[in-house]
Amino acid sequence: MSPSNHGAAARPGTRKLVQGNIALAEGAVRAGLNCYFGYPITPQNQIPEYLSWRLPETGGVFLQAESELASINMVLGAAATGARVMTSSSGPGISLMQEGISFLAGSQIPCLIVDVMRCGPGLGGIKPTQADYYQATRGGGHGDYRTIVLAPFSAQEMFDFPMRAFDLAEHYRNPVLILSDAILGQLKEPAVLEPAGIPRPLPNTWALTGAHNRPARNLRSMYLSGDDQEIHNNVLWEKYNRIEQELPEAEQIETDDADILIVAFGSAARIALSAIRLAREEGLRVGLFRPVTLYPYPGKALRELTSRVNRVLVVEMNMGQMLDDVRLAVTDEVRIHFYGRPGGGVPTPHDILAKIKEC
Amino acid sequence: MHHEWLLAGFGGQGILFLGDLLAQAAMRQGLQTTYMPTYGVAMRGGTANCIVRLSDGPIGSPLFEEPDAAIILNQQSFTKFLPVLRSGSLIIANSSMIDAENANTRKDVHIVYVPATELAREAAGTERATNMIALGAFLAVENTLQENTIEQIMGEERNPSKQKLVQTNKTAIQAGMAYVHKLASSRNGA
């Protein structure tokens, strides 16, 4: 099966057996993380636990806040100075942060937010899910905004994505969300924990660094006079349009000869890979289209691919959220099937194989 | 080649440590591997289990599906998991805690009963080495991972307070292997 075990085998360097949450935390440190603010919640607790000792080693600040509300507003304050700042949580905590995320987006302040999804709604449970897809990709808070959303599917990508996230956040002056889940957070597998890139400091034209020998700056999301708010929103949407042109990314696995296409992201894509192996053992030619960016959605690539492979099975650990983006992307000639498990349930490769046979 | 191994027992019996060790050994031998623990609700006295997968190709799902080998250290886990193991599975069962006489209702799996807790007490001086006795027994029968690799990893422990434990663990692994070899030779002799 191509390609390599999810990045690690092909990468030069020493492979280490590492838990997804730890890989992500170390990836953030290697990306030049200056500050972490967060409040504990399973299944992401290894991230703050690790950063509580690791980040001070590099001169960074680790602070366990009194709540998620405090965490996200500390992120806003620290990131406004141009520092590399992150927080992490899981569904219930991310819900509490939505007001702050809306303010970050409105004020165009770059930062990293990590959601290691657990099943809901409400307090739910600690089992994996992908049910925060809508919340992540549609803004989540009030107002017409977007956060860039990256979906890792291996320990290697858990390590690599914080670096990409900070680069993208600063390039577009926009919050970036890494949408992981309980499987990827708790899973251990080999990864190469060496920089996938080098932090690219951008010329500082906006951060609040003290108005010494320069005009004062102001970061805000409130525009009360005249048409200023609409003008501001148009600025944001010009940016989102640029993001939608420049960023969409997907991985295609075994799609060259495929008759049936599975569309899945994150850990559902891992389980789908096992199902594809079972299907191919039975002579069924099935391939995988795995969105890496969930916003912007790689709809154009999916539309092109489905002009050739017109039987599609969408697999998610929710009741059909990314399914909307697939429907928006493909033409009416494509037959879309869906298999989802709600929060608390995880599909098995054999479950997916049975659905493949119905396509 | 693709293996799915189940490790199960009480919390505190070193099940997760054992799983981590096997995954590290697999990686060291150039294989692809994943380690997926139960998490969050695991605690001392409750049951703990994890899945280790080993493969010469990329691994998709890291989750529990249909294990082809298992190390099981307590009765509860044995009762729970025996019915779901793949036909032909190898099972190392800790007969210090599992009723060997009445346990096996399946004829299509290969169970090696090892009194791991008692052996740990006798050979290594502590019940805490139960997991390593079982590991030794496993390595004596299942040859994907080499004992050398395991010893190499243990030898890299630099924490002085843990180095004594490393010696205990090595002794226990040897004792577990010896027990199974003796079992095999007495069976061959009979």
3-state secondary structure chain A: CCCCCCCCCCCCCCEEEEEHHHHHHHHHHHCCCCEEEECCCCCCCHHHHHHHHHHHHCCCEEEECCCHHHHHHHHHHHHCCCCCEEEEECHHHHHHCHHHHHHHHHCCCCEEEEEEECCCCCCCCCCCCCCCHHHHHCCCCCCCCCCEEECCCCHHHHHHHHHHHHHHHHHHCCEEEEEEEHHHHHCEEEEECCCCCCCCCCCCCCCCCCCCCCCCCCCCCCCCCCCHHHHHHHHHHHHHHHHHHHCCCEEEECCCCCCEEEECCHHHHHHHHHHHHHHHHCCCCEEEEEECEEECCCHHHHHHHHCCCCEEEEEECCCCCHHHHHHHHCCCCCEEEEEECCCCCCCCHHHHHHHHHHC
Phi-psi region of B88 (alpha: psi -120 to 50; beta: other; left: phi over 0): left
Contact flag B36-A350 (C-beta cutoff 8 Å): no
Q: How many residues does chain A have?
A: 359
CB contact under 8 A, A15 and B63: no
Whole-angstrom CA distances from A136 to A43, A296, B32, B56, B69 are: 18, 11, 32, 36, 40
Contacts of B32 in chain A (CB under 8 A): 5, 9, 189-190
Tell me what the mean pLDDT of segment B79-103 comes to.
92
Span A162-177, average pLDDT: 96
For A268-324, the pLDDT digits (tens) are 999 999 999 999 999 999 999 999 999 999 999 999 999 999 999 999 999 999 999
Q: Which fold has domain A15-201+222-246?
A: Rossmann fold (3.40.50)
Q: Is B175 within 8 Å of B136 (Cβ atoms)? A: yes
Q: Do A188 and B23 touch (CB under 8 A)?
A: yes
> For A282-286, B27-31, B96-100, which range has the lowest pLDDT when averaged over its residues?
B96-100
Do the Cβ atoms of A4 and B58 come within 8 Å? Answer: yes
Is the bond leading into A43 cis (omega within 30 degrees of zero)? yes
pLDDT the model gives residue A1: 33
Closest alpha carbon to A291 in A234, A251, A262, A319: A251
Contact check, Cβ <8 Å, B58/A3? yes
**Domain range summary for chain A, segments of one domain joined by +:** 15-201+222-246, 250-358
pLDDT at B47: 83
Band (A182; pLDDT cuts 50, 70, 90): very high
The answer to whether B27 contacts A190, with C-beta atoms less than 8 Å apart, is yes
Give B20's contacts in chain A (Cβ within 8 Å).
17, 188
Find the CB nearest B60 among A9, A43, A271: A271
What integer pLDDT is reported at residue A3 of this predicted model? 38
Mutate to test the interface with A, among B61, B84, B149, B153 (most CBs of A within 10 A): B61
Size of interface A-B (CB pairs under 8 A): 76
Question: Which residues on chain A are in Cβ contact (under 8 Å) with B24?
Answer: 17
Q: Identify the CATH homologous superfamily for domain B2-189.
A: Pyruvate-ferredoxin oxidoreductase, PFOR, domain III (3.40.920.10)
The domain ranges of chain B are: 2-189
> Is A273 within 8 Å of B60 when comparing Cβ atoms?
yes
Q: Which residues of B touch A6 (CB under 8 A)?
A: 58
Q: What would be the CATH architecture of the domain defined by A250-358?
A: 3-Layer(aba) Sandwich (3.40)
**Confidence check: pLDDT of A4 > 70:** no
Q: Do B41 and A126 touch (CB under 8 A)?
A: yes
Which residue of A45, A189, A317, A353 to mutate against B (max B Cβ within 10 Å)? A189
pLDDT at A44: 97
Tell me the nearest-neighbour CA distance from B179 into chain A, angstroms: 31
Q: How far apart are CA A288 and CA B58, in angstroms?
A: 14
pLDDT higher than threshold 60 for residue B40:
no
**Phi, psi at A6, each rounded to 5°:** 60, 45
**Which of A43, A188, A270 is nearest residue B61 as measured by Cβ atoms?**
A270
**Residues A142-163: what's their mean pLDDT?**
97
> Which residues of A sit within 8 Å Cβ distance of B?
1, 3-6, 9, 15, 17, 42-43, 126, 182-183, 186-190, 270-277, 346, 348-350
Gap from A42 CA to chain B (nearest CA, Å): 7
For residue A202 the two structure tokens come to 């951008």
Chain A residues touching residue B34 (CB < 8 angstroms): 187-189
- Pick the closest to residue A183 from B60, B48, B165 (CA basis): B60
pLDDT computed for residue A2 by the predictor = 33
Tell me what pLDDT residue B102 has: 75
Three-state DSSP class for residue B141: helix
Angle A117-A248-A176 (CA atoms, 0-180°, nearest 5)? 45
Query: Judging by DSSP bridges, how do beta strands A311-316 and A260-263 pair with one another?
Result: parallel
pLDDT of residue B115 exceeding 80, the answer is yes
Residues 6+ apart with CB under 8 A from A190: A5, A8, A9, A15, A16, A17, A18, A155, B27, B32, B33
Q: Could you say which of A1, A271, A272 has the minimum Cβ distance to residue B58? A: A1
Tens of pLDDT, residues A18-44:
999 999 999 999 999 999 999 999 999
Whole-Å CA distances, A143 to A100, A150, B43, B171: 12, 21, 44, 64
Domains A15-201+222-246 and A250-358 share a fold: yes
B126-159 tens-digit pLDDT: 999 999 999 999 999 999 999 999 999 999 988 8
Distance from CA of B114 to the nearest CA of A (A): 29
> Of residues A32 and A200, which shows the higher confidence score?
A32
Distance from CA of A333 to the nearest CA of B (A): 30
At position B100, the amino acid (one-letter code) is A
Tens of pLDDT, residue by residue over A45-85, are 999 999 999 999 999 999 999 999 999 999 999 999 999 99
User: What ipTM describes this predicted complex?
Assistant: 0.94
In this complex, do A274 and B20 lie within 8 Å of one another by their Cβ atoms? no
